[in-house]
Amino acid sequence: MSYPFQIKSPDEYNKAYKQSIDDPEAFWAAVAETFLWKKKWDKVLAWNFREPDVKWFINGKLNITENCIDRHLISSGDKPAIIWEPNDPKEESRTLTYSELHYSVNQFAHVLRNNGVKKGDRVCIYMGMIPELPIAMLACARIGAIHSVIFGGFSAQSISDRLQDAGAECIITCDGAYRGGKDIPLKNVIDDALVTCPFVKKVIVYTRTHTPVSMTKGRDVWWGDEIKKVEEMRYAEIPAEEMDAEDPLFILYTSGSTGKPKGVVHTSGGYMVYTTYSFVNVFQYQPGDVHFCTADIGWITGHTYIVYSVLCAGGTSLMYEGLPTWPDAGRFWDIVDKYKVNILYTAPTAIRSLMAYGLEPLKGKDLSSLKVLGTVGEPINEEAWQWYDEHIGKKKCPIVDTWWQTENGGILISNMAGITPSKPSYATLPLPGIQPALMDEHGKEIEGNDVSGNLCIKFPWPSMIRTTYGDHERCRVNYFASYPDMYFTGDGCYRDSNGNYRITGRVDDVLNVSGHRIGTAEVENAINMHTGVIESAVVGYPHDVKGQGIYAFVIFDNVHEDVELSRKDIMQTVSRVIGPIAKPDKIQFVNGLPKTRSGKIMRRILRKIAEGEMSSLGDTSTLLDPGVVDEIVKGKI
Ligand code: WT7
Taking the CB of residue 616, how many other CB atoms lie within 10 A of it? Answer: 7
What value does the mean pLDDT take over residues 425-453? 97
161 lines ligand 1 (CB under 6 A): no
Structural contact between residues 282 and 48, judged by C-beta atoms closer than 8 angstroms: no
Average pLDDT, the chain: 96
Kindly report, as residue ranges, where domains of CATH 3.30.300.30 are found in the chain. 518-634
Contact 209, 89 (CB under 8 A): no
Residues of the chain with CATH 3.40.50.12780: 1-63+270-507
Q: Which of 425, 512, 516, 522 to mutate to test the pocket of ligand 1 (most atoms within 8 A of CB)?
A: 512
Is residue 157 a contact partner of residue 582, using CB atoms and an 8 Å limit? no
- Which candidate, 413, 455, 374, 429, places its Cα nearest to that of 14? 429
Q: Atom 6, ligand 1: which residue's CA is nearest?
A: 377
Question: pLDDT, tens digit, for every residue of 342-357?
Answer: 999 999 999 999 999 9
Q: Is the CB of 480 under 6 A from ligand 1?
A: no
Could you report the per-residue pLDDT of 584-602, keeping only the tens digit for each?
999 999 999 999 888 889 8
CA neighbours closer than 13 Å in the CB half-sphere of residue 380: 33
Pairing of strands 146-149, 290-293: unpaired
pLDDT above 70 coverage of the chain, percent: 100
pLDDT at 561: 76
- Quick check: CB of 402 below 6 Å from ligand 1? yes
The answer for residues whose C-beta is within 8 angstroms of residue 198's C-beta and 6 or more apart is: none
Q: Is the CB of 80 under 6 A from ligand 1?
A: no
Nearest residue to 251 via CA among 165, 377, 328: 165
Give mean pLDDT, residues 89-105. Answer: 98
Write out the CATH class of domain 1-63+270-507. alpha beta
> Is ligand 1 within 6 A of the CB of residue 522?
no
pLDDT of 143 over the 90 cut: yes
Task: Indicate if ligand 1 lies below 6 Å from the C-beta of 413.
Answer: no
Binding site membership of 345 for ligand 1 (Cβ less than 6 Å): no
> What residue's CA is closest to ligand 1, atom 8?
377
β partners of residue 147: 123, 250
pLDDT in tens, 193-249: 999 999 999 999 999 999 999 999 999 999 999 999 999 887 678 999 999 999 999
How much distance in Å is there from the Cα of 205 to the middle of ligand 1? 32
Element (H, E) at 512: strand 510-513
Give, for ligand 1, the residue of 403, 514, 518 to mutate: max count of ligand atoms closer than 8 Å to Cβ. Answer: 403
For the segment 146-172, what is each residue's pLDDT rounded down to a tens digit? 999 999 999 999 999 999 999 999 999
CATH tag, 518-634:
3.30.300.30
Pocket flag, ligand 1, residue 255 (CB < 6 Å): no
Q: Model's pTM, two decimal places?
A: 0.96
User: What local confidence, expressed as pLDDT, does residue 399 receive?
Assistant: 98
Q: According to the model, what pLDDT value does residue 41 have?
A: 98
pLDDT (0 to 100) of residue 1 = 64
pLDDT digits (tens, 9 = 90+) for 455-507: 999 999 999 999 999 999 999 999 999 999 999 999 999 999 999 999 999 99
Tens digits of residue pLDDT in 266-296? 999 999 999 999 999 999 999 999 999 999 9
pLDDT tier for residue 616 given thresholds of 50, 70 and 90? confident
> What does the pLDDT read at residue 14?
98
List the one residue out of 470, 601, 483 whose CA is nearest residue 539.
601
Q: How far apart are CA 421 and CA 400, in angstroms?
A: 9
CB environment 577-602: b (16+ within 10 A), e (fewer): bbbebbbbbebbbbebbbbeeeeebb
**407-431: pLDDT as tens digits:** 999 999 999 999 999 999 999 999 9
Q: Are 548 and 480 in contact (CB under 8 A)?
A: no
Q: Which helix (H) or strand (E) element contains residue 319?
A: strand 316-320
- pLDDT higher than threshold 90 for residue 2: no
